[in-house]
Structure 1
Amino acid sequence: MRNFRQSSTKYTSSSHTSLLPVSAIGCAMLAMMLLLGGCGNDATVTGSSGQQLTVVPDDASAEQQPNVMLTSVDTLYNVYARTWLSPDELLLNKDNRLLVYHLSTGKSTPLTPDRQAPQYLAEASPDGKHIYFTEGREDDKYVIHGYILNRTTGKIAKIGDMDMVNEVHWADNEQLIAGSTGTGVRLIDLQGNSTLLKFHEPHATEAIQHVEKIGKRIYYLASDGQGYTTLNSFTTDDLQATMVASNVADFSVAPDGKSIVIQEVKWNTSEPFRLLVIDSSGKVKGTIGEGTLLGRPAWSPDGELLAFTIYQESQQGLKGLYIFDQRTGKTIPLTSEIQEYNQSTRWSPDGTHLSVYMEDKKVVTNIVGISR
């Protein structure tokens, strides 16, 4: 695997300023980046419900400073980071092959050495015991098949043809979930059997986008009937869906289901995307940031931290990779070098690393280490 591992850089307290933890960044820089004013006291951004998201200036005592800091950035070229299998195992895609990469050794092995079809996406179950992955056909790029690999036995269950439009996620350790045409979601068990769950949608919609399941509650994106996207939800006990929030371009639910981060967009305007944290009823808890383009935020496995990336066309405002700490309300800049705006940010199971891949002129995957 080291043949494509081009760079491995460790950042300490003497590293470049743009990659230092927040405690080493001057108050003037924070004021510029976070649009805050004033030095000497904690600078704050107040959300629409009054919650204050705080960045501690550099003259604060050590006890007051955030306990999340950047420790390392390892760069891998020409590979996509797909999903974490364990704290030491990251599943990568290189040349349409899925490879298990070991952080401790820098070496990799094929996930399914006996399979020859092109491989694309992959998602590990929360417990890491099963892997959903997709394969294609050399002669038809529009045909995608889905499979579930049992890592213990090596057996592979076939799901069948997959819809290229709807995302597939693990609902829990026992089943996958995906949107379906019309008002329905698919639940797929470990043997590949699919069940269509029909529910009552508030507005007519052509397709259900981006589905997540927390306990009995299912969240999804759908049209509001006027061409705009809303975040809706229903439960497996009550199939009548209701709207949680409007003008939502994307979302991610915390593992405990108590917080949801949404990307709010004002359609048909030039206003930037905004990241808001809301509760399960849609009440706004606070505003985290805004930017020209935002990557889908990713909650840490324990739900305490939220990682997100912001891309800015201008040189002002938030940009780069950030951590929002729910425990303290602090937003912590990690590095301005990572400004991706796709859905690639993933946490390792132990919450000590992030993987983010970026696509520009070439594909680059960054493995970011943090201390907590």
Structure 2
Amino acid sequence: MKHHAGKYGFTLLAATLLSIALTACQATGDRLTVVDPGATRQSGQQTPVRGGADEAKAKRQLTVVHTPRQPASREVTVAGTHKIEAASIQSWISEDEVAIETIRLVKAGMTTEEPQYEYATSILNLVNGQTRKPAGEEGQQMDGYMLVKETLSPNGGYSFIQKWKDKYTADNFVKDRGTGETIQIPGDNYLELGGWLNENTYVLAAGSMSGRGEIRQISAADGKVTKLPLEDPDVEVFTQFGVSHGRIYYTDNHQVLKVFDPGQTKPVSLIRDVWDFQLSPNSQYISVSTVTQSGAFQGSELLIYDSAGTLQGTLIGKGDLISYVSWSPESDKLAFDVYTEKKPGMNGVYLFDTGSGQVSPLAPYYASTEPLPHPVYPLSWSPSGKQLGITVDDPTTLLVTQVIEFK
């Protein structure tokens, strides 16, 4: 998604929720803490919310828990930041190098014309600040395509590669990273949704120009494709789709998160009112953001469930809109952005630590203006999870990316 599309998409979505009055309780100096689910429930905590359960109507509360100071190793400690002007991160080449896309305004917008931008791709070294042109495989993989996405298998033995010809169609490949052999997968592809079912199997929601399209199970060893049947009249098109550790998750037309195993044809309902969900890389958690516009509660919440759909602790975040939720590679941190129109409330990018249960604001490290700018591109983790890239609008250079380095 290019800069202007991401920016206006966020603005439009936020505007539709401006009328929602929400207040998030966050006292100065306090931290939002997830309560140990094994401990005695406190006032304001609710039982797990599942699809079809009466307790789904219960009103959850954002609870500030006063806790003793955690050991330094469990605190979010920032070692430094790297500023990348007029650019967004496309991918991480290594812990020190990132593929970036720079943006330059070619022609300003007119009353009857949209502004025109020029984009260029390069590799930036975060240590010395030098840039270079993509070389070898880095350059070849983009030849003739507008976007390339590569997803490694859990053990790194294979990768699933999508090479997009345009916004609507992609060529798919499976690569054996040990031998370098690449197999092209047959079949049209209109969506970027999928994931590794296990070490040797990728599942793709291919999409279609009419209907929801096929769910394809792809063998990494030989590229063989098997169609997975799904009997669910409540899903016309997949908008949210995830795969992990032998299970397939998606949301239906009524914002219900469902799950099924290959070989099953009917899904099981897990959670209702789901706007977005993200599976943690280790498959232990599901981050769920909700948007409710009727009833006792209106707004957006961020909660953590286990893979069976059981609520873990209390709220992580609350506001008018929660966007750009991203797990770190080791699943020990969750970064997310919260937009709230009225104060006091949560605003900006936050970091949730699964070990300590603490939520820490990152605004001091990427923003120097008020009101806080919000990301216009997905939050981007480095391979080790020790660095996080945040891209926001900038009045001078159009975009600016801050890479926050954690100790």
Contact 2:193–2:242 (8 Å) recurs in 1? no
Deviations 1:109-163 (A, max 9, x none): 42543454242252431556636242325xxx54444455666666654446754
Query: Against the structure 1 CA distance between its residues 153 and 77, is the aligned structure 2 distance closer, same or farther, given a 3 Å change threshold?
Result: farther
**Equivalence for 1:74:** 82
Alignment of 1:106-255 (within 5 A): 106=129, 107-110=131-134, 111-114=137-140, 116-125=143-152, 130=159, 132-136=161-165, 142-147=168-173, 156-159=182-185, 163-171=189-197, 174-179=200-205, 180=207, 181-182=211-212, 184-190=214-220, 193-201=224-232, 203-223=233-253, 228-255=254-281
1:318 alignment partner AA: M
Deviation at 1:217, TM superposition (A): 1.3
Q: Would you say 1:348 and 2:346 are equivalent positions? A: no
Please, which moves more after superposition, 314-323 or 174-183?
174-183
Alignment of 1:1-372 (within 5 A): 35-37=25-27, 47-49=45-47, 63=71, 66-94=74-102, 99-106=122-129, 107-110=131-134, 111-114=137-140, 116-125=143-152, 130=159, 132-136=161-165, 142-147=168-173, 156-159=182-185, 163-171=189-197, 174-179=200-205, 180=207, 181-182=211-212, 184-190=214-220, 193-201=224-232, 203-223=233-253, 228-267=254-293, 271-285=298-312, 286-335=314-363, 337=367, 340=374, 344-358=378-392, 362-371=398-407
What is the SS of the residue equivalent to 2:338?
strand
Deviations 1:59-90 (A, max 9, x none): x6573784222222323234332333432343
Contact 1:123–1:169 (8 Å) recurs in 2? no
Please, which moves more after superposition, 96-105 or 77-86?
96-105
Contact 1:69–1:370 (8 Å) recurs in 2? yes
Contact 1:244–1:280 (8 Å) recurs in 2? no
Deviation at 1:251, TM superposition (A): 0.4
What is the rounded CA distance, in whole Å, between the counterparts of 1:233 and 1:348 in structure 2? 29
Query: Against the structure 1 CA distance between its residues 240 and 131, is the aligned structure 2 distance closer, same or farther, given a 3 Å change threshold?
Result: closer
RMSD: 3.8
Contact 2:162–2:170 (8 Å) recurs in 1? no
Contact 1:216–1:237 (8 Å) recurs in 2? no
Deviations 1:152-178 (A, max 9, x none): 666654446754445244445544433
What is the rounded CA distance, in whole Å, between the counterparts of 2:401 and 2:188 in structure 1? 26
Deviation at 1:348, TM superposition (A): 1.9
What is the SS of the residue equivalent to 1:82?
strand
Higher RCO structure (Cα 8 Å, ≥6 apart): 2
Contact 2:375–2:391 (8 Å) recurs in 1? no
What is the SS of the residue equivalent to 2:71?
helix
TM-score by length of 1: 0.72
The count of corresponding residues between Structure 1 and Structure 2 is 328
Deviations 1:333-352 (A, max 9, x none): 12253754667123222120
What is the rounded CA distance, in whole Å, between the counterparts of 2:191 and 2:330 in structure 1? 30
Deviation at 1:244, TM superposition (A): 0.8
1:117 alignment partner AA: G
What is the SS of the residue equivalent to 2:165?
strand
Gaps of 5+ in 1: 1-32
What is the SS of the residue equivalent to 1:209?
coil
Gaps of 5+ in 2: 1-22, 35-43, 48-59, 103-117
Contact 1:232–1:241 (8 Å) recurs in 2? yes
Contact 2:88–2:399 (8 Å) recurs in 1? yes
What is the rounded CA distance, in whole Å, between the counterparts of 1:151 and 1:328 in structure 2? 36
What is the rounded CA distance, in whole Å, between the counterparts of 1:74 and 1:93 in structure 2? 16
Q: Which structure's residues are more often strand, by fraction?
A: 1
Deviation at 1:54, TM superposition (A): 5.9
What is the rounded CA distance, in whole Å, between the counterparts of 2:148 and 2:298 in structure 1? 32
Query: Against the structure 1 CA distance between its residues 324 and 43, is the aligned structure 2 distance closer, same or farther, given a 3 Å change threshold?
Result: closer
Query: Against the structure 1 CA distance between its residues 198 and 105, is the aligned structure 2 distance closer, same or farther, given a 3 Å change threshold?
Result: farther
What is the SS of the residue equivalent to 2:236?
coil
What is the rounded CA distance, in whole Å, between the counterparts of 2:283 and 2:402 in structure 1? 28
What is the rounded CA distance, in whole Å, between the counterparts of 1:151 and 1:89 in structure 2? 20
TM-score by length of 2: 0.66
**Equivalence for 1:15:** none
Query: Against the structure 1 CA distance between its residues 291 and 148, is the aligned structure 2 distance closer, same or farther, given a 3 Å change threshold?
Result: farther
Percent identity for Structure 1 against Structure 2: 22
What is the SS of the residue equivalent to 2:403?
strand
